[in-house]
Chain A
Amino acid sequence: MSVTIGSGHEGNVREQISAYKSRLKGGEMGALPSVLSLFVLVILFSALNPFFFTQGNFANLLTQTATLMMLSMALVFVILLAEIDLSAGVTSGVAMALFILMTNKGGIDWRLSILAGLACGIAIGATIGFFVARVGVPSFVVTLGLFLGFQGLQLALLGDGGIYRIEVPEIRAIMNDNLPAVLGWSFFIIAMVTMSALGFYDRRVRSRNGLANRPISLLYTKLIVVAVVGASLVALLNTNRSNSIKEISGVPIVVPIVLTILFLGTLLLDRTRFGRHLYAVGGNPEAARRSGIKVVKIRIIAFMLCSGLAVISGIFNASRVGAVEATAGKAIVLSGVAAAVVGGVSLFGGRGRLIHAGVGALVIAIIDNGLGLLGLPAGINFLVTGGVLIMAATVDAVSRNRSSTTR
């Protein structure tokens, strides 16, 4: 059986590039604007301040970004449904309050306490999902209500101005310790092997089904770019970045954790039935319903994933601060939404990937970090971040209009 309709996978490199260009013109921008601004920002700040492009600052930047990146990735699951979770930050705060009370006051094993925190987050997500999907209360209102209510709950749990030190060394290590050089390289190699294996496996399945593949040079190029960037980062981070006698080197432990969650989440969204249905519900709930998709169930699971992953960002935050505070998670949630939007996740639903949230979080963190290094007044930072967010949302709206008129 010959198949005459093109899949877009055939054709040489030049045709692939022109196809990509026409997709861009059609409004499918993806992460391109944010990746470009990432480059511009790195070059700009490197030129303005010699300390910016140093391994010390890079390690700093990665740990600064991790919490935001995790929260932003969590939010992607609900933003894809054109919903919002304003309570994601304080949900993580409540879960961490539960964790710290269990370990510090209750003397319960920290692993068990972490699981309890995660379960608490997922239960909160299920509750939000129930009110939004089953009852039909707008998610903005449900989660705004929880945003206010949970601040009170945090105070009630931890006491006025309550701060509890994290006593568990494993939790402190996430943001403050680094992988030994060998482990850093091992993780890099595992990541590269996994990426290559997936790439070649997909090609093999396609040709077994008699379908054309993209030129293999595109896959090689992608792998080489990732390998070069990854290897330089690992090499850079493995050198000593300490100013004192004690050596500090290695990839921060949080980096492989975030990358693993990013990888698994992307598999879930791109390669499972749940992921496909999530995008469908985000794109056109009525069409999804008529195709037999259980829309309510998909919505509830999305909120559970969001809250559960938000708890992980809460763990990162607690690890970095070294303590759990009654105000944890209150300020960060809007930055999380901003990071997702800056990265190219559409607030209208149905468009965006986890990696977009990651890139967006990096952009926001670099603005914060770079402007901080320049010693500018703090107000400037907010102004710039706000401006970038509005620009990103505008790009989203314009490209959405364009893609629905490109015929």
Chain B
Amino acid sequence: MTTQTPIVELTGITKSFGPVDVLKGIDLKVYAGRVTALVGDNGAGKSTLIKGLAGVQQYDSGSVKFEGVETQLPSARAAAALGIEVVYQDLALCENLDIVQNMFLGREVMTGITLNEAQMEFEASKTLTSLSVRTVKSVRQKVASLSGGQRQTVAIARSVLRNAKLVILDEPTAALGVAQTEQVLNLVRRLADSGVAVIIISHNLADVFKVADNIAVLYLGKMVAQLESKNTNHLDVVQYITGTRSMGDQA
């Protein structure tokens, strides 16, 4: 596992907004087939780190390697072209459209100048089936009629459909009930098992331990710990998050 090239390797990433240094030299490696949880208190720099990867905001300095190659991420489009997809907290689905229409929005399959509905419906069903999603009744349901967990599922499946190599999930379980959280976490696990690299931002450590292989902890713009979840525990992570413990203590 450790000899594998990381899908994304960040080295020495910095970013400041005026006088405020939000990221102070972050190193992070993300591997295909693994779920990396990004945890940290509010203001630790999680969102800023993610926005850089998504191409929405540029880092000030530092190197980004994608599949071992030095890359720039000047725009969201460039990130998407590499295979980086972000599922935002608000999901960004059109409630008035159905599941198929949402999954193919902006990338419709065409026959001449008309939409190829049949092929899109087939591909959408195939993708959902490959993720073992059984909670939606019909792919022609309007998103307005779906539950929060089902919407999250559609948003994640959309990134899979776009052949994402790295899927970044921003608080995917924040607004969900217990059963739906379970469903979404299972989906995240299957997503990683299918060979996709997953970064998940979460405040819920129970979720993190359930699904993540690696845990990366940010504290005030610094990466204070990168742990394998099987080698650590709840208490340690909380101490890293709150800054009462640093990597040196562990040695």
Contacts and interface: CB of A to CB of B under 8 A. Distances in A.
A286 B96 CA distance: 14
Nearest to A271: B114
A290 B110 CA distance: 20
Centre residue among B76, B88, B94, B101 by max chain A CB count within 10 A:
B94
A5 B139 contact: yes
Given A5-B139, A6-B138, A7-B139, A287 B114 contact: no
A292 interface: yes
Given A272-B114, A407-B146, A9 B92 contact: no
B113 A272 contact: yes
A134 interface: no
Interface stretch (B37-45, B125-133, B194-202): B125-133
B94 A1 contact: no
A8 B76 CA distance: 35
A330 interface: no
A5 B136 contact: yes
Contacts of A349: 96
B105 A291 contact: yes
A48 B148 CA distance: 52
Interface size of B as a range: 35 or more
B148 to A, nearest CB: 8
Contacts of B116: 205
B227 interface: no
Given A4-B134, A280-B97, A403 B142 contact: yes
A405 B157 CA distance: 23
Given A5-B138, A272-B113, A406 B106 contact: no
B108 interface: yes
Interface of B: 76-77, 88, 90-97, 101, 105-108, 110, 113-119, 121-122, 125-126, 128-129, 133-134, 136-142, 144-148
29 contacts: A3-B126, A4-B129, A5-B125, A5-B138, A6-B137, A6-B138, A6-B139, A7-B125, A7-B138, A7-B140, A26-B145, A27-B144, A205-B116, A209-B119, A267-B114, A279-B94, A279-B97, A279-B101, A283-B95, A283-B97, A284-B93, A284-B94, A287-B94, A290-B92, A291-B92, A292-B77, A350-B95, A403-B145, A407-B147
Contacts of A2: 129
B115 A205 contact: no
- In the A-B complex, list the 10 residue pairs whose CB atoms are closest, starting with the nearest: A291-B106, A283-B96, A350-B96, A8-B138, A283-B94, A287-B92, A292-B106, A209-B118, A291-B105, A3-B125
B115 A287 contact: no
A211 B108 contact: no
Contacts of A404: 95, 144
A351 interface: yes
B118 A350 contact: no
A350 B101 CA distance: 13
Centre residue among B116, B117, B146 by max chain A CB count within 10 A:
B117
B19 to A, nearest CB: 31
A141 to B, nearest CB: 25
Interface residues of A, number: 44
Nearest to A26: B145
Contacts of A209: 118-119, 121-122
Given A276-B108, A291-B105, A284 B95 contact: yes
Interface in A113-130: none
A272 B92 contact: no
Nearest to A204: B118
Nearest to B140: A8
A267 B97 CA distance: 17
A1 B144 contact: no
Given A272-B114, A280-B97, A350-B96, A28 B121 contact: no
B139 to A, nearest CB: 5
B122 A211 contact: yes
B115 A271 contact: yes
Nearest to A205: B118
Contact of B133 (A5, A205, A208): A5
Contacts of B118: 202, 205-206, 208-209, 211
